[in-house]
Amino acid sequence: MEMKQGKVFIISAPSGAGKSTLARILLQKYDFFEFSISATTRPPRSYETEGVDYHFLSADIFRQKIMDHAFLEWEEVYPGRFYGTLQAEVDRILAAGRYPVFDVDVEGGLSIKEKYAEQAVSIFIMPPSREILKDRLRKRGTESESDIEKRYKKAEVEIAYASRYDHVVLNDELDHAVSQLMSIVDSHLQKA
Ligand code: ADP
Ligand code: 5GP
């Protein structure tokens, strides 16, 4: 059953801009937030855990879930790499009286915003520059150089979506970005 209550927080950014870092901090600061665990066909990174960071699925099972209409939205974010938000995951979080936090790409973010409308707050995390973005991707050390190039190329397109988000937070100094995010959250909670 679809629950239409509470707030949903959507965080999008080019890969490497720092959205997972910021989402993690937000989730630690507010105990009513719950991370919406997406499904993906990409392999797990060394520090990622099944059912915590993602539901890591085979391409066949992912396709089956598309056919079963299990996704609120899904995208082929990079060629051959599928990512999707499971509707059951969102319903479970809202039914528990908690607020879901989505870490999704720009297309997914706009789909969720459209679906949850006034209930949704969309936030775009902006990297300070393209050079710093590439530097962060390299320093993270989780992708091959060719995957870094794919993510960097996509960043150009993704940054063009920023104006369609409710808020844009510049992630230059981490502490500044965290306080900006917290004031956005607080202002929306007062309205809720
Ligand atoms: P995303 O989830 O957007 O792909 P991450 O949160 O994984 O990005 O961040 C990419 C890398 O940049 C990580 O190694 C992270 O520690 C680092 N990082 C994040 N925010 C900052 C910041 N404000 N200053 C410097 N490094 C940062
Ligand atoms: P990563 O492989 O770095 O974890 O994620 C790559 C991109 O996929 C990021 O932009 C991330 O936000 C996005 N992503 C993660 N989960 C989902 C999802 O469920 N739906 C969509 N559309 N994008 C997602």
pLDDT tens for 6-62 read 699 999 999 999 999 999 999 999 999 999 999 999 999 999 999 999 999 999 999
- pLDDT at residue 52, as a whole number: 95
Q: What atom of ligand 1 comes closest to residue 19's alpha carbon?
A: 3
Q: Is the pLDDT of residue 73 over 70?
A: yes
Q: Probe ligand 2: pick from 21, 40, 114, 150, max atoms within 8 Å of CB?
A: 40
Q: Determine the Cα–Cα distance for residues 44 and 70; give it in Å rounded to an integer.
A: 22
Instruction: Indicate the top mutation candidate among 136, 139, 148, 158 to test ligand 1's pocket, ranked by most ligand atoms within 8 A of CB.
Output: 136
Within 6 A (CB) of ligand 1 lie: 13, 15-21, 136, 139-140, 171, 174, 177
Among the listed residues 38, 12, 15, the one whose alpha carbon sits nearest the alpha carbon of residue 142: 15
For residue range 26-40, list pLDDT tens digits in order: 999 999 999 999 999
Can you say whether the dihedral through the CA atoms of 180, 187, 71, 46 is positive or negative?
positive
Q: How many Cβ atoms from other residues are within 10 Å of residue 1's Cβ? A: 7
What is the tens place of the pLDDT at every residue in 130-189?
999 999 999 999 999 999 999 999 999 999 999 999 999 999 999 999 999 999 999 998
pLDDT of residue 2: 46
Total residue count of the chain as it appears in this document = 192
